[in-house]
Amino acid sequence: MTLHIQILNPSAKNLLNELEKLNLIRIKRKDESKPDFLDLVKNIRQKKKGGMSLEEISKEVEAVRLKRYQNKGK
């Protein structure tokens, strides 16, 4: 399960760090939570053995962009 938490009180960060030390939670920095582009490409390539055409790649990119822009509006 993944939760995004906004820390309002700086002392709460110490509490979270202690929970991480106890191996109860894992803290990921913002840049780590986004999938790496190359990992995404490898994942897509593994799903389709014959490779993707330029048209299929373009459709996939547009779908991801649309989803990202829709999430920014929330």
Q: Which of the four pLDDT bands, split at 50, 70 and 90, describes residue 74?
A: low
pLDDT over 70 at 5, yes or no: yes
Nearest to 25 by CA among 35, 34, 15: 15
Q: 23-65 pLDDT, tens per residue?
A: 999 887 766 556 677 777 777 777 766 667 889 889 999 999 9
What SS3 class is residue 45? helix
What pLDDT, on a 0 to 100 scale, did the predictor assign at position 48? 64
Convert 24-63 to b/e letters by CB count within 10 Å (16 or more is b). Answer: eeeeeeeeeeeeeeeeeeeeeeeeeeeeeeeeeeeeeeee
